[in-house]
Amino acid sequence: MSAANLHIGHRQLLGRIREIMAASGSAQRRLDDLVEAIALNLQAHVCSLYLRRPDTSMELWATHGLATSAVHVTTLGAGEGLVGEIVRTARPLNLVEAPSHPAFSFHPETGEDPFHGFLGVPVLRGGRVLGVLVVQNSAARQYGDDVVEALQNVAMVLAEIVSSNDLLSKHELENVALRPSRAEMLSGRRISDGLAVGQAVLFAPGRMMVALIADDPEVEEQRLQTAITELRRSVDALYQGKGNRLGGPSREVLEAYRMFANDQGWLDRLCEAAGSGLSAEAAVERVRGEHRARLLSAKDPYLRERLHDLEDLANRLLRHLGAIDDLAELPENAVLVARDIGPAGLLELDRSRLKALVLEEGSPTSHAAIVARALRLPVVGHVTGFLDRVSAGDTVLVDGENGVVSIRPDENAEEEFRTRVAERRQRRAAYARLRNKQAKTRDGVNITLSMNAGLRVDLPQLEETGAQGIGLFRTEFQFLLSDHLPRQSEQTQLYRDVLDAAGDKPVVFRTIDLGGDKVLPYVAHEREANPALGWRAMRMALDRPGLLRFQLRALIEATGGRELNIMFPLVTTLSEFLAARDLLHGEIERMKRFGKPVPQNVRVGSMVETPAIVWQLEGLLKEADFVSVGANDLMQYFFAADRENPRVAERYDILNPGALRMLGHVANVCKAAGRPVSVCGEVAGQCVEAAALIALGFTELSVPPASIGPVKRMILSLDHNDLGTHLAEWMVKSQGSIRGDLLAYAKGNGLPL
Ligand code: PEP
Ligand code: MG
């Protein structure tokens, strides 16, 4: 037969399989017909299907050519025989002389003895081997590439059909390991606090909603080619910075995308699969499944990383083919599982259905993390290999308190977890009861508890938590979440909404803090070797004052004559503060000239985020109306440890005596100068750290909204003086952190941390 005829013959096989699967009758009957059709079409004496059992052994489910009495009797232990070899490698095995292969094992009940030529392919779904499809010939035979290809196509279609739950009865399904079934517990990092139980929803896993077998392969090839051209174009556009919304792939990942999108091998595999009778979507899925299975077994983390790139690329391609829905509709109690997600993507999801997020990546200081906290969405990140272990619909317990995720928990574990969820709810109700209570220590020190914000979704929290104001409004979030530079009118509207929501409560707007990790996707920027030490925040704003000027105008206008509290980020020298303040005054004068209302009262503050400004504080306080310690950055620069780098970000404890001495110095100098000082870094919202800050003399904290309740509860039990005395002692003898001493003290003194 000519090559072209062979191709047509194999396409007919897919058509025949479609007929068989669409026919009525039991699953067994249809699978028997299927193996028979394959054997006839591929001119093999034997065709057998093995499916994986829950205990990981492989069971013979259907055969044409072996003894039918062996069906459901012959099982191969994990890794046993040639079938085991295919499961292990997740690759086809094509042998001229099967019995001479070292892994060959003989099962007399099958009557296998006389067969020599052997070809087996894995039945893959989501990178897992569900089964093995084998053809055999009595004579030694080298199966051609076209046969391998045809058998892989059948295996792909079979995988979809078997896992669609339409084929096998409930009873039969119990004996097939379609998906991982073991309970597993995986550790990651705490990104956003909270507990949730829900069902896994895989973000962009390629939900196939189309026919697998094509009517006209030429049409499918053409569709695939068009989609690939569009894919290349969109990847190029992303690479050139167009339309790369925040949270989109990094440049390194885009480079990998580009490489794969132009990789001839990948494209050839796709076209071959489409040309052989699969629909374009099924072809993408098949090639993806093969890569996935191969790379999953790779030990090399680089290779596994590339797997993710390929997965993403395949998803993009499916999107161009119109085969993936974009999670517009989430099921109830959804736990979204993704490699990573951008803040904009997160905001688009239906919050009433979304219960939690599990990420393979993600960092606690990322913008998505901040948005998740604003939405009070529990998030666990850095859960390596999670996507490989979870199946859509699995029950997932997300423990954002400890950074742990459980999949498919047993009844007891789920029950226990639900008890914790209920206890947490009670605790939150108790915090809500503290809403209107002043945070005052047992020895009578009033602490001002404000909240950090940056999004409109944060605003209702002012009321709900009883925060005394917004101590830090991160204005750059509006810029980061937008796909264009927000117009002055858009900025004004946001600031006005914030002031309206706050009413009498004070709001401190921090001017845009861009650069470093906060890069605007729509503004060209130069890559820097050390972005945290680079052109960011005040440095950028003063070098290119246009952006800051527009923002200042928007802020002045939004006040509509009300009070304006404004502060500048990452001030390193007094002169920077003065230059920024001059810009503000210049804009106020300009507004006056235009006869527009200006704020009644303007208070101008500075963030204390660099050790440099700590040692110029006396001078700064002569000029600034107030200061706020941005402990996230201050500690990053103090310990020379990048806050975005998980290897070092938590290496040094802020409860280190050196750091505490510096913070104590800030509190004392501000007190002596009679200037208000607050702490607004994330640590202020953690009870242990907050206790230490109060003991050092800070009386104003601005914290994430969810921290108001727990921190207030702690303050109400705290003896500020007593802890201050102990703190001074611990600092003298400490070798790295006073945390242990403080925790022991809290235990002994009933301080709830
Ligand atoms: C800080 O650095 O502590 C801070 C509050 O600012 P950001 O986290 O936005 O850099
Ligand atoms: Mg900062």
Identity (one letter) of the amino acid at 528?
A: E
Compute the distance between CA of residue 555 and CA of residue 488 in angstroms, rounded to an integer.
9
Point out the ligand 1 atom lying closest to the alpha carbon of residue 365.
Answer: 8
Calculate how far, in angstroms, residue 513's C-alpha sits from the geometric centre of ligand 1.
9
User: How much is the average pLDDT of 692-704?
Assistant: 97
CA distance 233 to 226: 11
Angle at 592 between CA 589 and CA 598, to 5 degrees: 95
Question: For the ranges 197-211, 240-254, 256-270, which has the lowest average pLDDT?
Answer: 240-254
Note the ligand closest to the C-alpha atom of 452: 1
Check residue 678 and give its pLDDT: 98
Q: How far apart are CA 482 and CA 475, in angstroms?
A: 12
For the sheet containing 75-76, what is the strand order? 75-76, 58-64, 46-52, 128-137, 117-125, 93-95
Atom of ligand 1 nearest to the CA of 632: 3
pLDDT above 60 (res 4): no
Residues with a catalytic annotation lie at 367, 680
Give the span between the Cα atoms of 184 and 747, in whole angstroms. Answer: 33
Q: Which residues pair with 250 in a beta bridge?
A: none
Ligand 1 centroid to 472 CA: how many Å? 9
Name the band, by pLDDT with cuts 50, 70 and 90, for residue 6.
low
Distance of CA 608 from the midpoint of ligand 1 (Å)? 10
Domain 195-204+334-425, CATH homologous superfamily name and number: Phosphohistidine domain (3.50.30.10)
Mean pLDDT over residues 535-560, rounded? 95
Q: What ligand 1 atom has the least distance to the C-alpha of 628?
A: 5
Alpha helices in 544-573, H assignment, sequence order: 545-559
CA of 458 to the centre of ligand 2 (A): 19
* C-alpha 351 – ligand 1 centre gap (Å): 26
Phi, psi of 366 (to 5 degrees): -70, 165
Read off the pLDDT band of 89 (50, 70, 90). Answer: confident
633 lines ligand 1 (CB under 6 A): yes
Mean per-residue pLDDT, 524-549 = 88
Find the range with the poorest average confidence among 37-46, 250-259, 484-493, 647-656: 250-259
Q: Which amino acid is at 633?
A: D
The 10 Å Cβ neighbour count of residue 133 is: 27
- Residue 428's CB is within 10 A of a number of other CB atoms, namely 15
**How is the chain split into domains, by residue range?**
3-173, 195-204+334-425, 217-321, 434-748
Counting from 1 in the atom list of ligand 1, the atom nearest the Cα of 516 is: 10
Q: What is the mean predicted confidence (pLDDT) over 561-589? A: 97
Amino acid in the structure at residue 727:
L
Rounded CA separation 455/473 (Å): 8
Any idea what DSSP says for residue 183? -
Give the pTM. Answer: 0.69
Contact between 407 and 183 (Cβ < 8 Å): yes
Q: Name the DSSP class of 410.
A: -
Task: Name the residue of 365, 513, 517 whose CB sits within 8 Å of the most ligand 1 atoms, as the mutation to test its pocket.
Answer: 513
pLDDT digits (tens, 9 = 90+) for 155-204: 988 887 787 666 777 777 777 777 777 788 999 999 999 999 999 988 75
Please report the DSSP string for 671-699 in residue order: HHHT--EEE-SGGGGSHHHHHHHHHHT--
**Most distant CA atoms of the chain, gap in Å:** 100
What is the number of the ligand 1 atom nearest to the C-alpha of 682? 3
Report whether residue 631 contacts ligand 1, using a CB cutoff of 6 Å: yes
Is the CB–ligand 1 distance for residue 680 below 6 Å?
yes
384 lines ligand 1 (CB under 6 A): no
Q: Is the pLDDT of residue 117 over 80?
A: yes
**Closest C-alpha to 208, from 288, 128, 120:** 288
Other residues' Cβ atoms within 10 Å of the Cβ of residue 271:
18
How much distance in Å is there from the Cα of 370 to the middle of ligand 1?
A: 11
Which of 509, 609, 682, 701, when mutated, tests ligand 1's pocket best, judged by the most ligand atoms within 8 Å of its CB?
A: 609
- Please tell me which residue, 679 or 299, carries the higher pLDDT value: 679
**Cβ–ligand 1 contact at 609 (below 6 Å):** yes
Expressed in angstroms and rounded, the spacing between residue 569 Cα and the centre of ligand 1 is: 8
Mean pLDDT in residue range 512-526: 75
Superfamily of domain 3-173: GAF domain (3.30.450.40)
Q: Count CB neighbours of 541 within 10 A.
A: 27
Nearest to 43 by CA among 188, 125, 150: 150
Is residue 406 within 8 A of residue 184, CB to CB? The reply is yes
pLDDT, one tens digit per residue, over 371-414 is 788 788 999 998 987 877 788 889 999 999 999 999 999 999 99
Cα distances from 205 to residues 73, 257, 310, 392, in angstroms, run: 35, 17, 12, 9
Question: Could you tell me the end-to-end alpha-carbon distance of the chain, in angstroms, rounded to an integer?
Answer: 78
Ligand 1 centroid to residue 633 C-alpha, Å: 6
CA 9 to ligand 2 centroid distance, Å: 66
Atom of ligand 1 nearest to the CA of 472: 5
Contacts by 56-63 with C-beta closer than 8 Å and gap 24+? Answer: 56/177, 58/83, 58/84, 58/87, 58/131, 58/132, 59/175, 60/110, 61/28, 61/31, 61/131, 62/28, 62/31, 62/32, 62/34, 62/35, 63/35, 63/110
**513 within ligand 1 shell (Cβ under 6 A):** yes
Mutate-to-test residue for ligand 1 from 517, 519, 568, 607, highest number of ligand atoms within 8 A of CB: 607
Is the shortest distance between the CB of 476 and ligand 1 below 6 Å?
no
C-alpha 631 to ligand 1 mean position (Å): 7
Please state, rounded to an integer, the average pLDDT across all residues of the chain: 87
Give nearest CA residue, ligand 1 atom 1: 630
Give the fold, CATH level 3, of 217-321.
Answer: Enzyme I; Chain A, domain 2 (1.10.274)
Cβ–Cβ under 8 Å, residues 452 and 729 = no
Nearest CA to ligand 1 atom 8: 632
> What pLDDT, on the 0 to 100 scale, is given for residue 541?
92
- Tell me how far the alpha carbon of residue 453 lies from the centroid of ligand 1, in angstroms: 11
Ligand 1 centroid distance, CA of 383 (Å) = 25
| Ligand in nearest proximity to the CA of 517 | 1
pLDDT attached to residue 216? 83
CB 474 near ligand 1, within 6 Å: yes
CATH classification (class only), 434-748? alpha beta
Ligand nearest to the CA of 644: 1
- Name the closest ligand to CA 632: 1
Q: Which ligand number lies closest to the CA of residue 703? A: 1
Question: Tokens 């209302």 map to which residue?
Answer: 597
Is 681 exposed, middle or buried (CB count within 10 Å of its CB: 0-12, 13-18, 19+)? buried
Look at residue 218 in the predicted model and tell me its pLDDT. Answer: 86
C-alpha 682 to ligand 1 mean position (Å): 8
What per-residue confidence (pLDDT) applies to 243?
Answer: 43
Q: Among 632, 634, 686, 702, say which to mutate for ligand 1: greatest number of ligand atoms within 8 Å of CB.
A: 632
Residue 581 pLDDT greater than 90, yes or no: yes
pLDDT band at 245 (very low <50, low <70, confident <90, very high): very low
Q: How confident is the model at residue 248 (pLDDT cuts 50, 70, 90)?
A: very low
Q: What is the pLDDT of residue 182?
A: 79
- State residue 683's pLDDT score: 92
What is the percent of the chain with per-residue pLDDT over 70, rounded to a whole number? 90
Beta-bridge partner residues of 257:
none
On the 0-12 / 13-18 / 19+ scale of CB atoms within 10 A, 522 is: middle
Beta strands 58-64 and 75-76 are: antiparallel
For residue 566, pLDDT beyond 60: yes
Judge if the beta carbon of residue 308 lies within 6 A of ligand 1.
no
Nearest-atom index, ligand 1, CA of 629:
3
Q: Which of 363, 450, 680 to mutate to test the pocket of ligand 1 (most atoms within 8 A of CB)?
A: 680
**pLDDT score, position 517:** 67
Sign of the alpha-carbon torsion through 477, 480, 485, 486: negative
Confidence of residue 207 (pLDDT cuts 50, 70, 90): very low
Regarding predicted confidence, which is higher, 169 or 242?
Answer: 169
Residue 370: nearest ligand to its CA? Answer: 1
Q: Please enumerate in sequence order all residues whose Cβ is within 8 A of that of 518, keeping only pairs 6 or more positions apart, or say none.
A: 367, 476, 480, 536
Among residues 279, 283, 285, the alpha carbon closest in space to that of 217 is found at: 279
Percent of the chain predicted with pLDDT > 90: 55
Q: Does residue 446 have a pLDDT over 80?
A: yes
- Helix H or strand E encompassing 635: helix 631-638
The protein residue with its alpha carbon nearest to ligand 1, atom 9, reads: 474
Q: Is the shortest distance between the CB of 518 and ligand 1 below 6 Å? A: no
Report whether residue 630 contacts ligand 1, using a CB cutoff of 6 Å: yes
Tell the residue nearest (CA) to atom 3 of ligand 1.
630
Q: In 475-630, which ranges are E strands?
A: 507-510, 564-568, 602-608, 626-629
User: Which atom of ligand 1 has the smallest separation from the CA of 631?
Assistant: 3
Answer yes or no: is the C-beta of 517 below 6 A from any ligand 1 atom: no
- Which token pair is 199? 């069902």
Provide CB contacts within 8 A for 585, sequence distance 6+.
Answer: none
Q: What's the pLDDT score for residue 2?
A: 55
| Secondary structure letter of residue 451 according to DSSP | E
Any atom of ligand 1 within 6 Å of the Cβ of 576? no
For residue 509 the two structure tokens come to: 């707007």
Instruction: Write the residue with the smallest CA distance to atom 4 of ligand 1.
Output: 630
Cα–Cα distance for residue pair 67/401, rounded to 1 Å: 57
Give the ligand 1 atom nearest the CA of 681.
Answer: 3
- Give nearest CA residue, ligand 1 atom 6: 630
Helix (H) and strand (E) counts in the chain: 29, 22
Q: Which of 66, 35, 228 has its CA nearest to residue 132?
A: 35
Q: What DSSP designation does 106 have?
A: -
For residue 654, is pLDDT > 90?
yes
Which ligand is the nearest neighbour of the Cα of 365? 1
